[in-house]
Chain A
Amino acid sequence: MDGEPIPASDHVARYVKPSKYVNKVMDWDALLPRPQDNGEASYNWLEYFGNGTPQELIIRLAASLTKLTISKNGVFATFNVGDAISGMLNAQPHIKLQFIHTPEPENESHASMFGLDNLNEAAGKFLKNLCQKFPTMYEM
């Protein structure tokens, strides 16, 4: 499914580093692309790991991220793709989000979010309002 859109009924998740998360509060740019990402924000497609609750899928995702250092002070943020696309159209009508499966070596569930830059703080707040947060539980 490389290059294919993520189904609207599915979910994406992103590991939020401790620099963007403290006191259960997330920074506005935590779920936006980084400046060097040229508008392509890295996420992971949760249903790539099969069926299960978001918590179960997050655990499978975390186990798969062998190249990423996951801190106990970070957090996983996840949201439904369809809710993000439609909600963003209400939040910022000029923005049409796209979620594409973009697998990478040793990160087969990698997905990309397009449609935002790193400076759109209002869109960042929308995404942080939308997401569910799951603790990383332990150092991995």
Chain B
Amino acid sequence: MNNLLSRHAESIFWLARQVERANSTARILDVNESFSRSPRGEHDWQSVLRLYADEESFRATGREPSADAVIHFYILDGDNPNSVLSNIRMARENARALRPLISTEMWVQLNGFHKWISRLRRPDLRVENLNRLCSHIKESCQTHSGITAETLYRDESWYFHQLGRAIERADQTTRLVDVKYQVLLPEPSDVGSPIDEAQWNTVLRSAAGFHAFRRVNPNSMSPSSVVNFLVFDPRFPRSVAASVLTANEHLNGIRIKYGHGSKHGASRLLRELAAELAEDTAADLIARGLHEGLDSIQAQLAGVTSALGTEFFLLA
């Protein structure tokens, strides 16, 4: 039986992350656009830059952080590794290298997605078109997931794909909560006001969790309950906790089904993170310092990725 090439494992892991990242980016831009309609929103395009720690790279473009400029930066700027174009371009190159393993439909869809993005021009990115544009991006990303689920053979490559997607999701959610929370640190006079609620709605919508949250918390909307939902609630699929559990499940699958990887490498790091998330609460996290706490989770996820590299992708 032939094992999965390290290079292929690495490619499909990153392909999943790249599509998920594009998905998140589109979602965040879309929600931001709605949010920035409110009077207090003039600065909020900058919050997107903060979310991805892109303030410096954006400054290098020499432009002002207007809506148009930031939207272009995150959708079409080929020099920005966090743009949708960059991510889908890399995903497509990974897919090309993975041709022997993936179905033709997977390839054709990503190829078509890339072609569509690379044909966009500035007029297509005007703020009034943003909603339609982001919907298309999100749909394409979802189509990719769908085709993958339907056609990718359930061998080791499937596990690496799902693992990549889950880790990226966890990471994206921590960033979202972190930035929004800082921006939205309410003035005492704002607490409970319509503006305050609108802001939290935005955070939840960015994570596609607005309706689910309302079902779970029909009466209250507080910083703490939103953080709890997005970070700790294992029932919400996009929460940090749920994503980490999914990632752990897939990494275990690789070990148990294929006998690859060790219990003590990336697996241990993920297990520890999952355990922490299971035991902690939003109130404690906020009390200790939300930003530091989320930073720490991101660092741990980066540690997991690095450990995966050593264990599976990089052999001397």
Bind each other: no
A-side residues, CB < 8 A to B, are: none
